[in-house]
Structure 1
Amino acid sequence: MSKTFHARLALLGLTALLLGACTLGPQYQRPEIAVPPVYREDAPWKEAAPADHLPKDDWWRLYGDTTLNALQNEARLANQDVAAAVARLERARAAARISRADLLPRLDLDPSARRGRTPEDLAPGTGGFTATSLQLPLDLSYEIDLWGRVRRSVEAAGAEYQAGAADLHNLLLSVHAEVARNYFGLRTLDAEIALLERTLSLREQNLRLVESLFKNGQVGRLDVARAETELASAEAEAAGLRRLRAQLEHALALLVGRPVADFSLPAAPLDLEPPAIAPGLPSALLERRPDVAAAERRMAAANARIGVAQAAFFPAVRLTGSAGYGSNELSSLFSWDNRAWSLGPAISLPIFDAGRNRAGLEQARAAHEEAVANYRQSLLIAFREVEDALSDLRYLAEQGQAEDRATSSAREAAELSGKRYRAGLVSYLEVVDAERTALASERAATRILGQRLQAGVSLIKALGGGWSDEVLPMVEPAGG
C-alpha cells in the first residue's frame, strides 16, 4: 500500500478520535433522597452506631449454631434459584462485553472461491467461457462514535451487569434469611413439642391419679372425663405441631436444593439467644442494601439510554475498508499485482422517520423517570423494613420479659392447684384451668423467643447482611 493511503488512514483515525469526544445525553447523578438522621425505633435506645461488625458474608455465624452454618453453606451451593441467578448474571456479563466490543473496529477474513461458466448469449463473441474467481479479502468495519451512542450503550450495559450482580447478592441474602427463619421456626416447634411431651407425661400421671380416686369413690366420673379430655387435647396439639414441623423441614429441603425424601433434621432444643445488632445510620442503606444498589444501577442504565436515543437524531458515520488479494488462479493469488483494497466512510443521516426518533427519546426519558421512582421506592421500603425489625425486637423483648414473669406465676399456680386437689380442697376444674394457663404461658414464651430470633434475621436482611456496593464488578474487555 502507498504512503498516501497510510496518511489518509491516519488522518481518518485522528478525525474519528477528535470527533468521538462528544457524548450526548445527561451525565448521571444520583438523585437527592431525604434520609432521616437516625432510625425512629432505634432513637429511644441509643445513638445509631456503625453496622460494620456484621460479617461481610456469613452473617448467620452470629448465632453460633453449627447446624445452621451447615444448612447455609449447602443453600449457597445447591439452591436452584441461586443457580438460575448466577446464569442470569453471566448472561448480563456477556451482553456487557458485546457492547464494549463495539468500541473497537471489527476485522473479518472473508475468503471465497467460485468457478462457473458464462453462456454465449451473455458474452457474445466469446463462445462462452469457464472462469475461476478466488478472493481473499480482509474486511474492516468501524462505527465512528461521533455522538457517544456506542459509549452510552456500553455504559448502560455495564450498569445493567452491575444491577444483575446486586440482584444475585440480594437473592443470596433472601435465601440465607429464609433458611435462618425456617430453621428458627423449626427449632421453636421442637421446643413446643418437647413442652407438650412433658405435659403429656404429666397429664397421664394426673389421669392415673384421678382414676384411682374415682375407684375409691373420692371423685366423680366428671373428673375422669376432664382428665381424659386434657390428655387427648395435648396429644392433638402435639400432632398438629409435628405437622407444622414437617412443613418447615420440607421448606428447608427446598432451600438447600435437596429432595424432601432425603432431608431430615433431628429435634433439638431452642437454646439460642438473639445477638445484639447495631442498625447503623440510615444513610448507610444506600450502600448496604443490594436491592437498593440494583435499583440505583438500573437508574444509571436508563440515564445512559437517553444519550443513545438522542444520538439517533444525528448522522451515523461508519468506516469500511477491505484489503486482500483476488485472482482466477490459485498460483497467482498472492501476486503483488493482484492486491485489492478499498477504504471509505458511509454516512447515514435521518431525514424523515415519522416521529420514530422523537418517540424513542420520550420512551427513554420515561424509562429513566420510572427507574428514579423505583429507586426511591426501594429506599422507602428499606427504611420501613429496618423500622419494622427494630420495633419487633424492641417490643418482643418487652413482651418476652412479661411472659417470663407470667410463666413463673402460672407454674406456681399449677403446682398449688394440684396440691389443693389432692387434699380435696378444690375440684379438678381448677387443676385443669391452672395447667392450661401454665402450658399456654410456657408455649407463648417459647414462641416469643423464636420470634425474637426471626426478627434479628429480618433486621440483618433489612441492613443488607453486611454487604457493600464496593464489591460490584466492573466489565472487562470482550477479549478478557
Structure 2
Amino acid sequence: MRLRLNRLSLLLTTALLAACNSTSEIDEKIRHYNIPAKWQNSAEQLTVEQFNVEHGWLNQIPNQQIKQLVDLALNNNFELKQQAFAVEVQQQELIVAGSALWPSLDLSLRAGRDKNSQENSTSRYNNNASLGLDLSYELDLWGKLSAADQQANLTLVAQQTSFEQAKQQLVADVVMAWFSVIEAKQLVKLYQQRTDNTQQNLDIIQLGYQRGLNSALDVYLTRNEVANEQSRTSAQKNALVVAIRELELLIGQYPQGLLEVDAKLPLLDSAIPQGLPSELVSRKPELVASWYQLLAQDAALAYAHKQRFPSLTLTASVGQNSEQLSDLLSASSLGWSLMGSLAMPLFNAGRLEANEEKARLQLKQQEQIYLDSLHNAFADVENRISEEQSLTERYQMMLTAQQNAMAAETLSFENYLAGLVDYTTVLDAQSRSFDAQSTLIEIKNQLIANRIKLHLALGGDFSAATQPSLAE
C-alpha cells in the first residue's frame, strides 16, 4: 500500500512540474521577421515628415457628399454589421471562458412518489422531496482555466482589430467607388461629345457629297463612325449606372442606380509619407489581428497541454429531504456535505496527446499564416509605391499625347475639307484623340485609387486630424 502511495505521489509531482513548464513555442523574432530598413522604392534619404504615416486622409477630399456616404456605409453596410456581430459573439465567448474561473452555484428541487410491495400483498406508497444548494469550484492548479481565458481574450482582441481593418477597407472601397462614378460620368460626357462631333462631321460630309465634293465612301465611313460612337456612349451610360449601384450597395441602400454624384477627379501631385517598414507591424490592423490570432493559438496549445494533468474540484452541498414539500424549509432536516475530488486522466487511447499535437501543429500553421500576411503587407506597400511612380509618369506622357492628338484631329479634318488627305486619315486622328482623352481620365482615377490603397496598405487611418485638401 505504501509503495502504491509513493508511486502516486511521484506521478502527481511529475505532473505538477510538467504542467508548470511554459508551453509557449512562439519566437518573438517572428513578429519582425525579415523586415527591411526602408522601402525598396522609396527615396534613399527619408525626411523627418516621411517617418510618420499620414492619418485622416479622408479629410483631404474637399467634398461633403463623400463624408456623408462614408457615414452611411459605416452605419448601414451589411458586411461590416456582420463583423460587428462577430465581435459581440466573441465577447460572449470571453464571458463563457472566464466563468470557469469562478465557482458555480446551483439550486435543485426534487419531488417524487414511489410504490413498495409488501409480503402480505399490500403496497406502501412513499413521498419524497429534496431541496439542495450545490457549490462547485475547480482549482486552477496548472493554469489550465487561465489559458482558456487568455485564449478567449486574445481572440477577442484579434476580432476587434479585424473589425477595425474591415472599417478601413470599407471606407477605402466607398471612396474608390465614388471616384469610379465620377470617372464614369466624365467618360459619358466625353463619349457624348465625341458622338456629337462625329454627327457634325457627318452633316458636313453629306452636304459636301450633295455638292459633289465628297465621295459616297466618306459618307458611309462617317455614318459607321457615328453608329460606333452611339454604341460606346450607350455602353458607358450603363457602366455609369453599374458604378452607382456598386456605391449604393456599399452604403447599404437598394441598388437603384439613381444616386447623384457631382464632383471632379482631382490630380494628385503631392508625396505621401511612407513611414518605416518596422512600424507597419504594430500600425496596420490586419497584421495586429494576425499576431493576436497567433498568440491565441499559443494559449490554445497551453490549454491542450494542461488538459493532460489532474483536476482538483471542491464541492459543497446544503440541503434537506422530507416526505412533504411543506417540510423542506424546516431546519430539523437540514444537512450539508463538503468534499474534494482529484481526477487525473490515465488512459484515453491517445486522445489528449493527439489534441495537444493538433494544437501544436495549428500553432505552426498560424505562424506561417502570420508570416504570409506580413510579407503580403510588405509587397502591397512596395507595389503601391512603384505603381504611383509609374502612373505619375504615364499621366505626364498621356497629357502630352492628348494635346498632340487633339491638335492632329482638328488639323486632319481641316486638311480633309481642303482635299489634302482622305477620310481614313481623319478617322485615325479622331481615334487617337479619343483614346488619349479617355486614357487620361482613367489614369487620373487610377492615381486616386492607388493613393487610397497605399494609405490602406500603410495602415493609415481615415479618421484623424484635418489634413490639407487635394487640389481639384
TM over 0.5: yes
Q: Distance in 1 between matches of 2:348 and 2:34?
A: 42
Structure-2-length-normalised TM-score: 0.87
Report the 3-state secondary structure (helix = DSSP H, G, I; strand = E; otherwise coil) of the residue aligned with 2:24: coil
Q: Which residue does the alignment assign to 1:87?
A: 85
Q: Which residue does the alignment assign to 1:119?
A: 116
Q: Distance in 1 between matches of 2:353 and 2:394?
A: 61
Q: Distance in 1 between matches of 2:174 and 2:271?
A: 20
Q: Which residue does the alignment assign to 1:53?
A: 54
Residues 269 and 439 of structure 1, relative CA distance in 2, 3 Å threshold: farther
Answer yes or no: is the 8 Å Cα contact 1:110–1:137 preserved in 2. Answer: yes
Structure 1 residue 129: Cα displacement: 4.0
Report the 3-state secondary structure (helix = DSSP H, G, I; strand = E; otherwise coil) of the residue aligned with 2:50: coil
Q: Which residue does the alignment assign to 2:193?
A: 198
Structure 1 residue 70: Cα displacement: 2.2
Answer yes or no: is the 8 Å Cα contact 2:184–2:243 preserved in 1. Answer: no
Instruction: Name the amino acid aligned to 1:119.
Output: N
Answer yes or no: is the 8 Å Cα contact 1:25–1:308 preserved in 2. Answer: no
Answer yes or no: is the 8 Å Cα contact 2:111–2:325 preserved in 1. Answer: no
Alignment of 1:305-316 (within 5 A): 305-316=300-311
Structure 1 residue 127: Cα displacement: 5.9
Instruction: Name the amino acid aligned to 2:322.
Output: S
> Which one of the candidate residues 418, 428, 434 is aligned to 1:439?
434
> Which one of the candidate residues 236, 244, 248 is aligned to 1:241?
236
Answer yes or no: is the 8 Å Cα contact 2:181–2:244 preserved in 1. Answer: yes
Report the 3-state secondary structure (helix = DSSP H, G, I; strand = E; otherwise coil) of the residue aligned with 2:95: helix
Q: What's the CA shift string for 1:90-133, capped at 9, x where partnerless? A: 1111011100111111111112333x243243xx6996544443
Structure 1 residue 36: Cα displacement: 1.0
> Which one of the candidate residues 107, 110, 127 is aligned to 1:109?
107
Q: Distance in 1 between matches of 2:50 and 2:109?
A: 68
> Which one of the candidate residues 265, 268, 272 is aligned to 2:266?
272
Report the 3-state secondary structure (helix = DSSP H, G, I; strand = E; otherwise coil) of the residue aligned with 2:28: coil
Q: What's the CA shift string for 1:354-394, capped at 9, x where partnerless? A: 22222121111111101111011100110111111111111
> Which one of the candidate residues 128, 134, 146 is aligned to 1:133?
128
Structure-1-length-normalised TM-score: 0.86
Residues 113 and 449 of structure 1, relative CA distance in 2, 3 Å threshold: same
Instruction: Name the amino acid aligned to 1:118.
Output: K
> Which one of the candidate residues 397, 406, 427 is aligned to 1:402?
397
Q: Distance in 1 between matches of 2:462 and 2:311?
A: 43
Matched, 1:386 2:384: no
> Which one of the candidate residues 22, 28, 31 is aligned to 1:30?
28
Instruction: Name the amino acid aligned to 2:86.
Output: R
Residues 126 and 35 of structure 1, relative CA distance in 2, 3 Å threshold: farther
Q: Distance in 1 between matches of 2:255 and 2:45?
A: 43
Q: CA RMSD in A?
A: 2.5
Q: What's the CA shift string for 1:31-62, capped at 9, x where partnerless? A: 4312111111223585582444312xxx4332
Q: Which moved more, 1:27-36 or 1:348-357?
A: 27-36
Unaligned runs of 5+ residues in structure 1 are 1-17, 469-480
Structure 1 residue 134: Cα displacement: 3.3
Report the 3-state secondary structure (helix = DSSP H, G, I; strand = E; otherwise coil) of the residue aligned with 1:119: strand
Q: Distance in 2 between matches of 1:310 and 1:271?
A: 58
Answer yes or no: is the 8 Å Cα contact 1:51–1:466 preserved in 2. Answer: no
Answer yes or no: is the 8 Å Cα contact 1:42–1:390 preserved in 2. Answer: yes
Q: Which residue does the alignment assign to 1:457?
A: 452
Q: Distance in 2 between matches of 1:396 and 1:239?
A: 28
Matched, 1:177 2:172: yes
Structure 1 residue 427: Cα displacement: 2.4
- What percent of counterpart residues are identical? 26
Answer yes or no: is the 8 Å Cα contact 2:97–2:148 preserved in 1. Answer: yes
Q: Distance in 1 between matches of 2:179 and 2:218?
A: 39
Unaligned runs of 5+ residues in structure 2 are 1-15, 464-472
Q: Distance in 2 between matches of 1:467 and 1:268?
A: 22
Q: Which moved more, 1:103-112 or 1:272-281?
A: 272-281
Answer yes or no: is the 8 Å Cα contact 2:155–2:293 preserved in 1. Answer: yes
Q: Distance in 2 between matches of 1:46 and 1:453?
A: 23
> Which one of the candidate residues 68, 71, 75 is aligned to 1:70?
68
Q: Which residue does the alignment assign to 1:411?
A: 406
Q: Which residue does the alignment assign to 1:472?
A: none
Query: What is the number of residues matched between the two proteins?
Result: 443
Instruction: Name the amino acid aligned to 2:36.
Output: P
Residues 145 and 414 of structure 1, relative CA distance in 2, 3 Å threshold: same
Q: Which residue does the alignment assign to 2:98?
A: 100
Q: What's the CA shift string for 1:317-351, capped at 9, x where partnerless? A: 11111123433345543343322111111111121
Q: Distance in 1 between matches of 2:99 and 2:39?
A: 46
Q: Distance in 2 between matches of 1:441 and 1:52?
A: 35
Structure 1 residue 22: Cα displacement: 4.7
Answer yes or no: is the 8 Å Cα contact 2:265–2:444 preserved in 1. Answer: no
Answer yes or no: is the 8 Å Cα contact 1:41–1:390 preserved in 2. Answer: yes
Q: Distance in 2 between matches of 1:269 and 1:232?
A: 30
Q: Which residue does the alignment assign to 1:338?
A: 333
Q: Distance in 2 between matches of 1:99 and 1:126?
A: 57
Q: Distance in 1 between matches of 2:261 and 2:142?
A: 66
Q: Which residue does the alignment assign to 1:476?
A: none
